[in-house]
Chain A
Amino acid sequence: MATRTTDPLITATSVSDAIRVAVPEKGLRQNLRAVGVVWQRELLRFRGDRLRAITSLIQPVLFLFVLGTGLSSLASAGMPPGVSFKTFIFPGVLAMSVLFTAIFSAASIVWDREFGFLREMLVAPVSRSAIVIGKCLGGATVATFQGIVILALAGFAGVPYDPILFLTVIGELLLLSFTLTAFGVMMAARITQIQAFMALTQMLVMPLFFLSGALYPLNRLPAWLSVLTRIDPLTYIVDPMRHAVFSHLNVSPAATAVLSPGVTWDGWVVPIGLSLGMVAVMGAVLLGVAIAEFSKTE
C-alpha cells in the first residue's frame, strides 16, 4: 500500500481532480467511438490468434492448388484454350477464403456471451447498433484481409496483378464479408451455444459454396441445379468477381461466354450492378435484424 501513497502522480493529482472524469461525450460522436473500439478489438483478437488465421487459409489453398491442379487435366478437355481451371475457380476460392473467417468472426459473439464479455458491451451507454455495426465491420475487415492473402496468390492461378482488378475484387470481398458477418451476428443473437452455432455453420456454408457456381459455370446446368444456384446469395458475388477476373484476361469472347456467362434469370442476364446491389441490400437487412435482436431488453 505504501507504493500507492508515495506515488507522485497520485499525490500530485488530488482525488477529486483525476477522478472527476468530466461528463462523457454523448450522441453520434460517442457512438462512432464505440463502433471504432469494437472494430479495433476484432483486429486485436485476430492478430493474437495466428492459428485461426493460418488454419482458415488451408481450405482455400487446398481447393486452389490441390483440387485446381488435380482437376486441371480432366477439366482441360472442356476448357477453352489459354484458360486454366485454376484461373476459373480463383474467384470462387476467394469467396471461400472469406466465408469461414467472416462467420467465425461472428461466432466470437457466442464466445463473448459464454465468457461474459458480451455483457460488458451490452451495458455500455451506447446504442446497441454501434456495437453490432462495429462487430460486423470488424469481421468484414478481418475476412477481407484473409481474402487479400489469397488474392496475393493470383499469379499462381494465372490471374494478372492488375491494380484495377485488385481494387474491384477487394471491394467485392468487403461487401461479401460484411454481409456474411451480419448474417453470422444475426444468428449469434439467437444461438447461445457454440456447438450449435458451429454445427449450423457447417450445415450452411458448404451448400452455399457448392451452389454458388464457384467450381462450375452457371450455364448448361440441369433445371433443378440451375434454380438452386440462382437462390444461393453467394452466386451474386462470385459472378461479379469472375466477371472482373475475366475482363482482365486475354481470352476470346467465346471463351468468356462459356466460362463467365453471368447469372441469368430465365435467359435475362442479371447486370453486375444489380447483383452487387442485391448483396448490399441483403447485408443491410441482415444488419437491421441483428441490431433489432440485440436491442431487446429482458
Chain B
Amino acid sequence: MSDPVISVTDLVKRYGEVPAVRGVSFEVAAGETFGFLGPNGAGKSTTIKILCTLANPTSGSARVAGHDVVAERDTVRRNIGLVFQETTLDNYLTGEQNLRFHADLYGVPKAQVEPRLRQVLEMVNLWDRRKSVAGTYSGGMKRRLEIARGLLHAPRVLFLDEPTVGLDPQTRSSIWEYITDLKSREDITIFLTTHYMDEAENCDRIAIVDGGRIVAMDTPENLKASVGKDRVQISTADDAAVIGELKDQFGIEAAIHENLVTFNVEAGEQFVPRLFTGLTKQIRSVSVARPSLDDVFMSYTGKTIRDAEATATDRNRARVMQMRGRG
C-alpha cells in the first residue's frame, strides 16, 4: 500500500475565539474519491482551505501529496488543483485565455500547454466554446471550465469545494458524469466537500462532519448498513399524542423532524400495518425509506442535515450580531 496522498493529524483552526475545526484526523489513499459531508458551517470549507494552503492551521498538521501544507506551501500548490464554491474565472477573458493564464501561473512547460489545453477542454466539452468570453458561459459551463482549469497542470489531488452548489439538478448530474469520467482517465485523487447526500454517494469514502469534528468515516455502504433501520415519517392530526402512543405501544422513540413524526425501525414496510392498528389518532400520510446518508447523519448527530443547517445559520447570525455589538 502506497503512502496516503492526504494525511491530516489533529487539525485545529480557530478564528479568534471561534473554533471552526476542532481536532480532525484522516487519511486519503491515492486514487480515492473522498468526501466531507456536513451542513454549512461544519468546518468543511475551513479544512479544505488549510489543505489548499489558503489558511494556516492553529495546531495540528496536514500533508498533501507528501508535503507539509505550511512548510512546503509552494510544492503543495503545484500538486493540487482547486475548484472553489464560488467561481474564480476572469469573466472578461475567453475560456482559452483563462486556461492559458493558469498554465503560465503554474509553470506548465510551454511545449505541453497546447496539447494539454485541448485535452482538458475536450474532456469537459468546451473545446468549441474556447474562444467565447467566460462571462457568456452558463453556470454549468463555468463550473466545467473551472474543473478543466484545475486539471490543466496535472495535479495529483483535485479539491472540489461544493462542486455543484447553485446548479440545477440536471447540470449537477452532468458535472458528476465529468468527474466520474475524469477518474477513469486520470490518475488522480479527489477530495470534495458537499452538503448534498446524493452527491456523497458518489464517493469511495466519506467523513461526516458536524461542529468541526468528524463524527463518522467509512464507505457510504458501510455507513448506511451501520444504521440498519428504515426511516418512517408520518404526518398525523396530533403529533404529540402519536409520539406518546408510539412510545407506549411499540417502545419507539420518535421525534419531529421537518414537521413530520420521524422514527427508525427495522423492516419498516412490515411495521406500517401494525402502526395503523396500534394508533388511535388519524394518520394522513406515511413514508418509509431505506437508510440513507441522511439517516446516518441523524443517527450520529441526532438531527437531520437540514436541521443542522438551520442551527448553523442561527449560530452564524448570532456570531455576526455579537461581533457587531462588540465593534
- Interface positions of A (Cβ within 8 A of B): 1, 3-4, 7, 9-10, 13, 15-16, 18-26, 30, 33-34, 36-38, 41, 44-45, 48-49, 112, 115-117, 119-126, 297-298
Contacts and interface: CB of A to CB of B under 8 A. Distances in A.
Nearest to B89: A117
Contacts of B49: 298
A147 B115 CA distance: 40
B176 interface: no
B154 A9 contact: no
A108 B320 CA distance: 28
Contact of B106 (A15, A124, A297, A298): A124
A19 B90 contact: no
Interface string B23-55: 000000000000000000000000001001111
Contact of B122 (A10, A15, A25, A37): A10
Interface string B114-138: 0110110011010000000000000
Given A18-B119, A44-B97, A297 B88 contact: no
B56 A297 contact: yes
Given A15-B186, A18-B116, A41 B154 contact: no
Nearest to A121: B105
Contacts, number: 118
Contact of B78 (A1, A37, A125): A125
26 contacts: A4-B122, A10-B122, A18-B115, A19-B154, A20-B154, A24-B106, A24-B107, A24-B108, A37-B100, A41-B93, A44-B97, A45-B92, A45-B93, A48-B92, A115-B87, A115-B91, A116-B88, A117-B90, A120-B105, A122-B54, A123-B52, A124-B106, A125-B78, A125-B106, A297-B54, A298-B54
A138 B74 CA distance: 24
B107 A7 contact: no
Contacts of B324: none
B64 to A, nearest CB: 12
Given A18-B115, A115-B91, A120-B90, 13 more contacts: A19-B154, A19-B185, A24-B107, A24-B109, A37-B105, A41-B93, A116-B86, A116-B88, A124-B77, A124-B106, A125-B74, A126-B105, A297-B55
Contact of B77 (A15, A33, A41, A125): A125
B104 A21 contact: no
B88 A21 contact: no
Given A122-B54, A297-B55, A21 B109 contact: yes
5 closest residue pairs by CB, A with B: A24-B107, A37-B104, A125-B77, A116-B88, A298-B55
Nearest to A16: B187
B21 interface: no
B153 interface: yes
A108 to B, nearest CB: 10
A34 B112 contact: no
Nearest to B103: A37
Interface string B147-175: 00000011000000000000000000000
Interface residues of B, number: 44
A116 B89 contact: yes
B303 interface: no
B56 A298 contact: yes
Contacts of A298: 49, 54-56
A19 B186 contact: yes
The residue in B52, B77, B90, B125 that gathers the most chain A C-beta atoms within 10 A of its C-beta is: B90
A4 B55 CA distance: 38
Nearest to B112: A21
A19 B153 CA distance: 8
Interface of B: 49, 52-56, 74-75, 77-78, 82, 84, 86-93, 97, 100-102, 104-109, 112, 115-116, 118-119, 122-123, 125, 153-154, 181, 185-187
A19 B156 CA distance: 11
Contacts of B104: 33-34, 36-37
B37 to A, nearest CB: 24
Contacts of A120: 88-90, 102, 105
Contacts of A25: 107, 109
A117 B109 contact: no
Contacts of B154: 19-21
Nearest to B105: A124
Contacts of A3: 122
A24 B78 contact: yes
Nearest to B123: A4
A9 B55 CA distance: 40
A132 to B, nearest CB: 14
Contacts of B115: 9, 13, 18
B150 to A, nearest CB: 10
A116 B87 contact: yes
A44 B112 contact: no
Contacts of A49: 92
A45 B89 CA distance: 13
A116 B77 contact: no
B127 to A, nearest CB: 9
A123 B153 CA distance: 13
B39 to A, nearest CB: 22
Contacts of B153: 21, 24
Contacts of A15: 185-186
A270 to B, nearest CB: 42
A239 B66 CA distance: 57
B51 to A, nearest CB: 11
Contacts of B52: 123
A41 B90 contact: yes
A25 B108 CA distance: 7
Contacts of B108: 21, 24
Contacts of B100: 37
